[in-house]
Amino acid sequence: MKRLKVKSMNNKKFINYVYDLGILFKKKAKEAKCNKHDASGAEDAAYKMGCLMAFHEIIDVMKQQARAFDIEQEDIGLADIDAESDLL
């Protein structure tokens, strides 16, 4: 994987960016779960389930990568969500 070469950018910006993404994805995932339950009709239900599964995958990958890089779940805003038990 190619590493980014960032000039004159503070690491704090990256930390805040990743943390905010975690929080935003978590919020959207929880909304997608609620929307799945409010689906009307088979086509709508399939679409909403697809959205939920996409957020499940995003959160799962973010958490896996955090573990691989020895980053605490709290630092990415995802310590209080489990993709398997909370989103499926």
pLDDT tens per residue, the chain (88 residues)?
666 565 556 788 889 999 999 999 999 999 999 988 888 888 888 999 999 999 999 999 999 999 999 999 999 999 999 998 888 8
Q: How far is CA 82 from the centre of its chain?
A: 10
- Reference 55, options 19, 77, 79, 24; nearest CA is 24
pTM: 0.82
Angle subtended at Cα 57 by Cα 14 and Cα 84, rounded to the nearest 5 degrees: 115
Cα 51 to Cα 31: distance, rounded to the nearest angstrom? 10
